[in-house]
């Protein structure tokens, strides 16, 4: 009998070319699929909640796959984690209705971007944060971040994409908080464009540093021109924290 299995996946994306399977490149999707096929002895196609770019991490990436295997859920998780590389882990697993789709059923996603705002590097944080050794006006950044809330055309903060798609997205929440030497940018939206989070963070850092004046991001948003916005920050500071689905029936 066909079953639909949902995975919650944590990974360090440093040594991968993103989530999505690519020819002749090491990706998270391809790595998990290959090992699942060994365990279940059948062709497996993972459906992810969405792609994460090269070098981006995840604490709560969601994927599902369908299988005819009768192997117990817990045994699939144990087998996967025993064979996966140490930088990928299946933290939760469950059987869900056959109509559940990891990508199409998404209500919102939450990403976190981490900045190390110190005058010296912290080697243990190097792979998961962006070292930015400049004085920042956090309050100014927090005030400017409110401009992004709601539904807008985010073309000014979108990297070029091979696929033509609408640039309109709705940001539900955008919080900036400082804890010690770290600044966290938590962004929840109904969807994200290519490079969107990294470009928003880069522009907010320009505000905090004083290179952009308060109020300018609203003008940049309206101009729909990527060249007007701030620089894109490195992928290594970005992590997919959570994918929200609401109730899975």
Residues belonging to the active site: 53
Q: Please identify which residue in the block is written with the tokens 């994918």.
A: 243
SS3 at position 236 = helix
Q: Token pair for residue 36?
A: 């699942």
Q: What are phi and psi of 43, to 5 degrees?
A: -70, 130
Work out the number of other CB atoms within 10 angstroms of the CB of residue 167.
15
Structure tokens at 92: 């939760």
What is the maximum alpha-carbon separation in the chain?
Answer: 61
**Alpha carbons 109 and 236: distance in angstroms, whole number:** 18
Q: Helix (H, G, I), strand (E, B), or coil: what is residue 128?
A: coil
Q: DSSP state, 1?
A: -
Query: How large is the C-alpha radius of gyration of the chain?
Result: 19
Adjacent-strand bridge partners of 7: 63, 93
DSSP string spanning 149-192?
A: -EEEE-GGG----SS----EEEEEEEEEEEETTEEEEEEEES--
Among candidates 20, 193, 184, 188, which has minimal Cα distance to 109? 188
Cα–Cα dist 12/108, whole Å: 22
């Amino acid at each position: 009998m066909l079953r639909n299995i949902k995975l919650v996946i944590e990974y360090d994306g440093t040594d991968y070319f993103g989530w999505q399977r690519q020819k002749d490149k090491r990706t998270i999707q391809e790595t998990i699929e290959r090992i699942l096929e060994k365990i279940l002895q059948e062709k497996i196609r993972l459906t992810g909640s969405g792609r994460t770019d090269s070098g981006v991490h995840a604490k709560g990436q969601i994927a599902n796959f369908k299988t005819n295997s009768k192997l117990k859920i817990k045994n699939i998780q144990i087998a996967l984690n025993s064979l996966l590389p140490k930088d990928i882990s299946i933290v939760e697993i469950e059987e869900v209705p056959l109509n559940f789709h990891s990508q199409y059923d998404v209500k919102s996603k939450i990403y976190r971007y981490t900045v190390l705002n110190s005058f010296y590097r912290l080697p243990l944080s190097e792979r998961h944060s962006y070292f930015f050794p400049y004085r920042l006006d956090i309050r100014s950044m927090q005030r400017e971040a409110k401009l992004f809330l709601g539904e807008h055309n985010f073309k000014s903060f979108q990297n070029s994409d091979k696929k033509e798609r609408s640039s309109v997205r709705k940001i539900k929440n955008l919080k900036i908080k400082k804890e010690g030497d770290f600044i966290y940018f938590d962004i929840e939206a109904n969807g994200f464009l290519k490079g969107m989070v990294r470009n928003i963070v880069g522009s907010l850092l320009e505000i905090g540093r004083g290179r952009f004046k308060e109020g300018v991001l609203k003008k940049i948003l309206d101009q729909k021109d990527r060249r007007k916005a701030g620089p894109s920050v490195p992928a290594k500071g970005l992590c997919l924290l959570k994918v929200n689905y609401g109730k899975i029936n």
